[in-house]
């Protein structure tokens, strides 16, 4: 084990020159110099790709997450097609919750739907702690992928306690998170018990992925932007901190992402992230001012821009690369996931453009 200047412990096995730990993506996460700005896309594996739709035509979503050979193939598809700088494990944030004993399904066009929503202390007890055996398909898929990917890093991920709690309490997707907030304000003790349990499940799920060989992890708190900073700090931050700080010795960079989080960026960084994901609402230079110069940023092209004519896309990519220079490390990404109607050729062009513009910049000193 070696300790770098960021205070993070690096694993000896994959820190050889040219290995995933020396890749532009991991270097940017650790705020080290990069040959070009690395780029990947949230939801890069998914419905924008015809080869994904073909596989999924006959296999339900959750089943596809539980078949290692399908997970491996779907995860590799965007790497082959676009030449992105990182792969992200094909799975879903509700996979560990289902493994923990909660009856749920992922309904096409809707998202996760929970059969019996969580409303009481007895309901919280139904969420069991998970071990590697409960998610052996994830362990197996990650091990296969690390071999297949070679020098390309694999990102593991999980949902953060607030976003998971929202699905579990609402019973499905919600615009207002009204039932979730009613529980949070009305029964803080139950709320904290629920989030503490979810933090334990999430931490166990991420540890399985790290032990199997992922090079970085991303904690998705997609819906945290529904809260004020004060409520975020009181009701959410301790639980996300339990997850991210629980991985401090794991030796892999930790990315923390949410949508609509302009007011929360500083707090989300404090939870124990090396990289903070930023949506399209906050320019990266402004975001860096809020997050602090000790963390890298990831983002933040509006996924809808990809539906516009190419000159619009190009101008936005240039602007984001420019604003990203204010940060001590920049991973190019979207501000949220790729939309299914996106033309995959535009994604491939964005990867090439980010590489070209950012390496030219390096040449010019």
183 part of the interface to ligand CP3, by CB under 6 A: no
CA angle 180, 237, 262 (to 5 degrees): 85
Task: Tell me if 93 contacts ligand CP3 by CB under 6 A.
Answer: yes
Q: Is 105 a catalytic residue?
A: no
| From 92, 139, 187, 302, residue interacting with ligand CP3 (rule: CB under 6 A) | 92
- Comparing every residue's Cβ against ligand CP3, the nearest one is 222
Q: Is 363 a catalytic residue?
A: no
Interaction of residue 156 with ligand CP3, rule CB under 6 A = no
Q: Is 43 in the site for ligand CP3 (CB under 6 A)?
A: yes
Question: What is the spatial distance between Cα 113 and Cα 56, in angstroms, rounded to a whole number?
Answer: 19
HSE at residue 126, side-chain half, CA atoms within 13 A, is 17
90 near ligand CP3 (CB under 6 A):
yes
Q: Does 112 bind ligand CP3 (CB under 6 A)?
A: yes
Composition of the chain by helix, strand, coil, percent to 5? 50, 10, 35
Nearest Cα residue to 214 out of 293, 153, 278:
153
Interacting residue with ligand CP3 among 21, 45, 317, 351 (CB under 6 A)? 45
For 327, the token pair is: 């940060």
Among 25, 137, 157, 191, binds ligand CP3 (CB under 6 A): 157
- Kindly state the smallest distance separating residue 130's Cβ from ligand CP3, in Å: 17
- Scanning 105-151, the segments in alpha helix (DSSP H) are 121-125, 136-149
Residue 56 designated active-site:
yes
Nearer to ligand CP3 among residue 6 and residue 77 (C-beta): 77
Nearest distance from C-beta of residue 40 to ligand CP3, angstroms? 9
* 325 has catalytic annotation: no
Is residue 43 annotated as part of the catalytic site, yes or no?
yes
Distance in Å, CB of 225 to ligand CP3, minimum: 11
Are 299 and 329 in contact by the 8 Å Cβ rule? The answer is no
Chain centre distance of CA 26: 14
Does residue 106 touch ligand CP3 according to CB under 6 A?
A: yes
**Least Å from the CB of residue 122 to ligand CP3:** 25
> Does residue 56 interact with ligand CP3 by CB under 6 A?
yes
Instruction: Give long-range contacts, CB 8 A cutoff, 24+ apart: 282-289.
Output: 283/323, 284/320, 284/323, 284/324, 284/326, 284/327, 284/330, 285/323, 285/324, 285/325, 285/326, 285/327, 287/262, 287/327, 288/326, 288/327, 288/328, 289/326
H/E segment holding residue 9: strand 9-10
Q: Count the site residues for ligand CP3 by CB under 6 A.
A: 24
Q: Pull the structure tokens for residue 97.
A: 């919750």
Segment interacting with ligand CP3, rule: CB under 6 A, options 89-97, 208-216, 236-244, 310-318? 89-97
Binding of ligand CP3 at residue 339 (CB under 6 A)? Answer: no
Nearest-angstrom CA–CA distance, 333 and 350: 10
Among the listed residues 56, 81, 254, 290, the single catalytic one is 56
Exactly one of 21, 29, 88, 250 binds ligand CP3 (CB under 6 A); which one? 88
Question: 3-class SS at 249?
Answer: coil
Tell me the C-alpha distance between 156 and 30, whole Å. 17
Q: Looking at 32, 43, 67, 128, which residue is catalytic? A: 43
User: Which residue's CB is nearer to ligand CP3, number 191 or number 223?
Assistant: 223
Q: What angle do CA 305, 307, 310 make, to 5 degrees?
A: 80
List the catalytic residues.
Answer: 43, 47, 56, 92, 167
The residue ranges that bind ligand CP3 (CB under 6 A) are 42-47, 56, 61, 88, 90, 92-93, 106, 108-112, 157, 163, 173, 220, 222, 337
């Amino acid at each position: 084990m070696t300790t770098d200047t960021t205070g993070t412990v690096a694993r000896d096995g994959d820190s050889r020159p040219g290995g995933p730990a020396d890749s532009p993506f991991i270097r940017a996460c650790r705020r080290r110099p990069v040959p070009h700005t690395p780029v990947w896309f949230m939801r890069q594996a998914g419905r924008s790709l015809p080869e994904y739709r073909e596989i999924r035509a006959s296999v339900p979503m959750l089943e596809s997450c539980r078949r290692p050979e399908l997970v491996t193939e779907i995860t590799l598809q965007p790497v082959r097609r676009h030449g992105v700088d990182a792969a992200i494990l094909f799975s879903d944030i509700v996979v560990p919750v289902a493994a923990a004993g909660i009856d749920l399904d992922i309904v096409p066009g809707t998202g996760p739907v929970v059969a019996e929503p969580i409303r009481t202390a007895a309901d919280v007890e139904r969420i069991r702690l998970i071990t590697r055996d409960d998610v052996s398909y994830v362990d197996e898929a990650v091990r296969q992928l690390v071999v297949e990917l070679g020098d390309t890093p694999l990102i593991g991920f999980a949902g953060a306690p607030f976003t998971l709690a929202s699905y579990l309490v609402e019973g499905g997707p919600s615009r207002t998170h009204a039932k979730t907030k009613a529980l949070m304000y009305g029964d803080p003790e139950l709320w904290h018990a629920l989030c503490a349990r979810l933090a334990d499940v999430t931490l166990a799920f991420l540890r399985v992925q790290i032990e199997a060989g992922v090079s970085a992890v991303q904690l998705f708190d997609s819906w945290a932007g529904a809260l004020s900073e004060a409520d975020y700090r009181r009701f959410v931050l301790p639980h996300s901190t339990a997850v991210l700080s629980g991985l401090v010795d794991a030796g892999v960079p930790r990315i923390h992402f949410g949508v609509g989080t302009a007011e929360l960026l500083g707090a989300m960084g404090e939870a124990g992230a090396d990289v903070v994901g930023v949506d399209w609402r906050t320019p990266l230079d402004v975001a860096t001012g809020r997050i602090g110069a000790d963390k890298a940023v990831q983002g933040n092209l509006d996924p809808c821009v990809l539906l516009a004519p190419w000159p619009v896309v190009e101008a936005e990519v240039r602007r984001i690369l420019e604003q990203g220079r204010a940060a001590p490390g920049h991973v190019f990404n979207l501000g949220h996931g790729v939309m299914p109607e996106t033309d995959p050729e535009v994604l491939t062009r964005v990867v090439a453009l980010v590489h070209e513009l950012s390496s030219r910049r390096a040449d010019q000193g």
